[in-house]
Structures are given as C-alpha cells and as structure tokens.
Amino acid sequence: MDKVERLETLVRHLNGAIKSLTLYPATHPASVQFLARIEEALQALLAEEEQVTIGIMEGAFVLDEVPIKASEELFSGLFQRLNAREVGGITFLRGVTGAEIRLFLEALGTDASLIKEAGGMKVVLAERGVRQIRVTPLGEEGGPEEAQELSPEMAQAKILYNRALGVVRQIMQEARMGKVPSIEQFPPMVKAMVDEIFERKYTLLALTMIKSYDEYLFTHSVNVGILSLALGSFLGLSKEALFELGLGAFLHDLGKVKWPDELHKKPRALNDKEWKIVRQHPIDGLKIMEMMGHTNPRALAAIGEHHVMYDKTGYPPLEEEKELSFLSSIVTIADVYDAMTTVRPYKSAIEPTKALGLMHAKSGKAYDPHLLESFIKMLGIYPVGTLARVDTGELALVVKPGEDPTRPKVKLLFDRAGRKVDGEVDLEERDEATGTFKRSILLAVDPASKGIDIGEYLE
C-alpha cells in the first residue's frame, strides 16, 4: 500500500469516526474501533514521515498533492464538518496520541458557532492541549452550520466544559479497557477549570443542568467537579486547595468503570453481589488513580470517601479514629445534588429546589451542616435550572442568583396563555411608579410536568 492509499484509508476512517460519534458515545465499540483504526493508520504513515497533511481544494480532499475524485460525496461527514468549521487542512505530526485524536474529533463534533466564538479550531485545539494536530484556515468561505447563537461567556464556558468531558471520557474509557490511563491532559484541564470558576461560576453551573442520559457517568463526573469547585471557591479556598479538590472531584466515580454495563442501567433492586460491586467503586477508583501515578493524598481522600457520610456511615467503612476529609465532604454534597437532579434508569429527576430541601432534611447526619448551608446559599433558594411560575403568569427559568436569594435572574419561556416568549429579567426590578417588584416567584415547577427540557433553554 503506497502513501496515497494509506492517506485515503486514514480519511475513510476519520469519516467513519465522525459518523459513528454522531450515533454512539465514544465508549461504544463502533466508535472505539474507528479511533483505533485512525491511530493505526497514522502510525503507519508517520513511521516514514515527520508529518502528513490532508487538505481541501475545490470540493475535494487533496492528499500529498493528489486529489481524491468525488471525495465530497464519498467522505461527506468529514468534508462538511471541516468546511463548517472553516478548516482547509489538517496536519498530523509524528508523536500524535490517541487522546489528541479523540480531542480533535470532539472539536469537530462541537457546534460550528461555538468553535467560531472561541476563536476557531486552532484556538480550540490549543486550549485542549492538542499539540500534534494542526489546522490551517479554509481558503474560501465555507458553509457554517446553523446553530443557536450563544453569548461569548457561555460559548467559552461550553468549550471548557466539553474539554473536561473529553478528558474524563478518555481516562474512563482507557481504564475500562484495562489500560493504565494517561494523566497528561488531566491536571491542565483541572487548572483551567479552577481559573474559570472565578470568572464564570454561574455560567458553568448552568451547564451542569444540561444532562446527558446516554453519557451519565462522564457528564456526572464533570458536573460534580464543577459543583465542587464552585462550592470551594464560595468557601474561599485557595487555588491550590481548589486544584486538589478538582483532582478528586472530576474522577470521583472512576472506579465505576469496573462495573458490568447492565449494572449502570439496572433499577436499584440490587442483589447482594451487585451491592458489593457498587460499594467497591471508591476503592477501585483509588487503585486506578495509584496506577496512573496520581498520589495527591487530599485528592485521593475525596475519591475514597465520597460515599462516607458526615456521621461516618456509608462506604467504605472509615476507621473509627480517622477524621473525614473536608474535601470529600464537599464532593459528597455535589455528588448527591447532581444525581438527584438527573434522570436515572431507576428514578426521575428531582427539581433543584426540592432536591435541596431533601438534602437539608439530612443535614448534620448525611451532610456537613456548615458545608450544606454554604452550598444552598451559593445556589440560592431557587438554583440555576429551576423552572418557576411568576405572579404575572409567565413560566420562567432561573439562570443566575440575585443579591436577594428569593429574587434571581430568570429567562422567560412562556406567557400565561402558553405562548413562547423570550427575554431575561431581573426579579429585583421594581416598577418606577409604585415601587413594587414587577415580578415575583410563586412556586417552583417540575419541568417533567410541562414536558420541558431545561437544557435546551440554558444553552
């Protein structure tokens, strides 16, 4: 097989991976197989060359200056995504890793508008730590995909969220396959999240309410990481302490990769053998972390103790004389809150206000009362993601807490007649003539009862 044939094979596998990742999660065997084929094809090409380049010119892929005829039809998925993201060429350098290939494909799967808002594919790949894959701009204007316009703040937060999701997914997938996961991308991602939590805390918190049923383990891990860092920053922890907290929080459920697939989806009528597997996952997580060379004691404590309650019940058993880790108590609260507000195979999601109420009922027993009180204050009485009925009859979604915890900033969704409306309002706003508040929340509403996907509106 000559070089051009190998390049054609590489493009075919890239195209297949794009199609696969639009249908299946990255852990699906079909997606894993395509990623392995891409890595194998690149290794063969880069064994003889320092770099290989795939370009687009006049509606065709150009490989080593040789065009592939009808490539737009043959490789439509890859062709369209590169055009939409204004990428005219891809260069793979010797030393490219499987993790970088995955991150590159995830960037191709990100909305074109988000890539543009973030400064383009070159900027996005640099932020994700991809060094051995380089892109060049499209020579002529492409046809970007239509996508919802996001504010620059939301676009930047979502780019970082997706980066975290990719890093966590990569580590968990490698661990599930029995490999020792690479930790290279993990600390830089956590550091970036720590920095971001000071700049865009409530924007990131909004993203934690955009749930993924099919990728629960990965999105839950990222959400718990963000919730933990948000609480830690609210408490005034130093950046060093937040970094240690993030190292544990984002991988707190790493041990669940040892579970059989059916256990992840099974209703919680578990037998003794299954409960034993469930209770083992904090210990399994520690073992994987240690194999990865992850030895930070505070981070490891957050992983090993996140199911140990404030009264020292839970699992695994804590030695009687040992004090519960402060960081693990933060992760415990974040873990339970995200799990309660997410649809699971064995339960419906609970709206945020009710979830906090249920947690408050166990304050001092299951949860550290000081930490839980701070968590509730941080989120507000009506946390981001709460669907609420206001006294003007409109249905609104909480998007940011206000100075007054009863008066957050909301996004109007429907008027009293059920017609769609749009616009953000501050519930602290008063009528100039009367001095009274223009709107007030009457009650929180269960989104499921209205058939509303709050993630659609938070984005």
Q: Compute the C-alpha angle 213/313/255, nearest 5°.
A: 40
Longest dimension (CA), the chain: 81
Q: Prior bond to 316 cis, omega within 30?
A: yes
Whether residues 216 and 234 share a domain: the answer is yes
Same domain, 205 and 128: no
Q: Of the candidates 326, 346, 379, which is a domain's last residue?
A: 379
Same domain, 368 and 393: no
Tell me how far apart the alpha carbons of residues 392 and 394 are, in angstroms, rounded to a whole number.
Answer: 6
146 located within any domain: no
Q: Which amino acid is at 7?
A: L
User: Would you say residue 171 lies in a domain?
Assistant: yes
**What is the pLDDT at residue 149?**
52
Give the per-residue pLDDT at 61.
74
Q: Could you tell me the mean pLDDT of each successive run of 10 residues in the chain, 459 residues long?
A: 74 83 71 86 83 74 64 70 86 85 85 83 82 75 38 78 90 94 92 93 88 80 97 97 98 96 78 94 97 93 97 93 95 97 77 94 98 95 92 94 90 91 94 95 85 74
Domain count for the chain, please give it.
Answer: 3
Angle between helices 98-109 and 152-176 (to 10 degrees): 140
Tell me how far apart the alpha carbons of residues 224 and 251 are, in angstroms, rounded to a whole number.
9
- Cα 160 to Cα 345: distance, rounded to the nearest angstrom: 28
Answer yes or no: is 45 within a domain. Answer: yes
Residues 285 and 161 in one domain: yes
The answer to whether position 147 is within a domain reads: no
Asked whether residue 148 is domain-assigned, the answer is no
Same domain, 268 and 307: yes
Q: Given this model, what pLDDT does residue 148 score?
A: 43
CA 310 to chain centre: 28
Residue 65 lies in a domain: yes
- Residue 360 domain flag: yes
Q: Report the run of H or E that residue 57 belongs to, with start and end.
A: strand 51-57
Residues 309 and 420 occupy one common structural domain = no
Is residue 267 in a domain? yes
Judged by DSSP in three states, 228 sits in helix
The residue out of 361, 379, 397 marking a domain boundary is 379
- Per the CB < 8 A criterion, the answer to whether 245 and 214 are in contact is no
Task: State whether 349 and 396 are in the same domain.
Answer: no
297 and 401: one domain? no
Q: Sign of the CA dihedral 67, 72, 73, 74?
A: positive
Note if the pTM is more than 0.75. Answer: no
CB 129 within 8 A of CB 93: no
CATH code for position 249: 1.10.3210.10
Question: What percentage of the chain's residues is helix, strand, coil (to nearest 5)?
Answer: 50, 15, 35
The answer to whether residues 213 and 315 belong to one domain is yes
Domain residues for the domain of 51 are 3-141
Domain match, 214 and 331 both: yes
133-137 sheet: strands from edge to edge: 66-67, 60-63, 51-57, 87-93, 133-137
Amino acid identity of residue 38, one-letter, is: I
Residues forming a β-bridge with 66? 63
Q: Say yes or no: 267 and 393 in one domain.
A: no
Question: Looking at residue 140, what is its pLDDT?
Answer: 36
Q: What per-residue confidence (pLDDT) applies to 46?
A: 85
- Of the residues 351, 379, 407, the one at which a domain ends: 379
Q: Kindly list the distances between the CA atom of residue 385 and the CA atoms of 184, 197, 310, in Å, as whole numbers in the listed order.
A: 33, 18, 27
Residues 185 and 136 in one domain: no
What pLDDT score does 143 carry? Answer: 31
For 304, phi then psi, to 5°, come to -75, -25
